[in-house]
Amino acid sequence: MKQPIKTYFNWSTGKDSALALYYLLQDKNYSVEALLSSINTTHKRVSMHGIRKELLTAQTKSIGIKAKLIELPEEVDMATYERIMADQVNLLVRLGFKLAAFGDIFLEDLRQYRERQLKVLNIDCIFPLWKRDTHELIHEFIDLGFKAIVVSVQANKLGAEFVGRELDAQFIANLPAGVDPCGENGEFHSFCYDGPIFKKPIPFERGEKVYKEYKKPNSKALEKQNMGFWYQDLLPIED
């Protein structure tokens, strides 16, 4: 009998990760034995999503798969990021991992980047949601019983009223034209706190909403140097 491939999953805490992992766990060809996440060492939060480390830990415990955390400095250039990631992946290779799984859906350049970076480290890639229709995916996510809250939005795409909302059919119906229903272009990110991959829901309460700006990479126009994001802080609740 063919042995399942030892796989690590790149876990972001959000909806796409949750749905992709759900599919992967049902495939006997793969054995998912680690959830890889990057953490901002200054704020102890998940990169991009802004989720507190405690909530990430609660997720992985409820899923029942070991967490592998990669600590990144608050300001990190691409060369440093790639060096840190390569060091961590090499550790996984030495532990027998052969495959990396991602929740990406249709961004070709991102997929090619991941495959190119990991190929030299002897890691293959799998994308369980690849090229699926994003309208179908988000409704499938909801119909399967997953629950998520929107934790960050691009301020130039969505207003502050969208952050902190439940990711449900009403949220999708309210999205402006041009915003992908899965936020695949980075329009919004989410925190998945319940669903078929969890043994129990992740308890939390809403904190404050915060607006932050980040310098846009390679921007030459002064007025376009910064990118603004609204964040919904989530506070862990002791179970």
pLDDT in tens, 57-96: 999 999 999 999 999 987 788 899 999 999 999 999 999 9
Q: Specify the 3-state DSSP secondary structure of 183.
A: coil
Residue 51 has pLDDT above 70, yes or no: yes
Q: What is the dihedral of CA 127, 133, 134, 140, to 10 degrees?
A: -90
pLDDT in tens, 128-184: 999 999 999 999 999 999 999 999 999 999 999 999 999 999 999 999 999 999 999
Residue 220 has pLDDT above 60, yes or no: no
The pTM is what? 0.92
CA–CA separation, 9 and 27 (whole Å): 14
Residue 88 burial by Cβ neighbours in a 10 Å radius (0-12, 13-18, 19+): middle
DSSP characters over 3-38: PPEEEEEE--SSHHHHHHHHHHHT-TTEEEEEEEEE
Domain coordinates of the chain in residue numbers?
5-126, 145-236
Q: How far is C-alpha 161 from the chain's CA centre?
A: 22
Lowest mean pLDDT among 42-51, 106-115, 191-200, 220-229: 220-229
> Are 105 and 16 within 8 A, CB to CB?
yes
What CATH topology corresponds to 5-126? Rossmann fold (3.40.50)
In 10 A of CB 142, how many CB atoms? Answer: 19
Q: Are strands 30-40 and 45-46 parallel, antiparallel or unpaired?
A: antiparallel
> Are 146 and 194 within 8 A, CB to CB?
yes
Cα three-residue angle 9-29-70, rounded to 5 degrees: 15
- Measured between its terminal Cα atoms, the distance across the chain in Å is 41
Lowest mean pLDDT among 102-111, 169-178, 217-226: 217-226
Q: Specify the 3-state DSSP secondary structure of 174.
A: helix
> Are 65 and 96 within 8 A, CB to CB?
no
Residue 217's pLDDT is 53
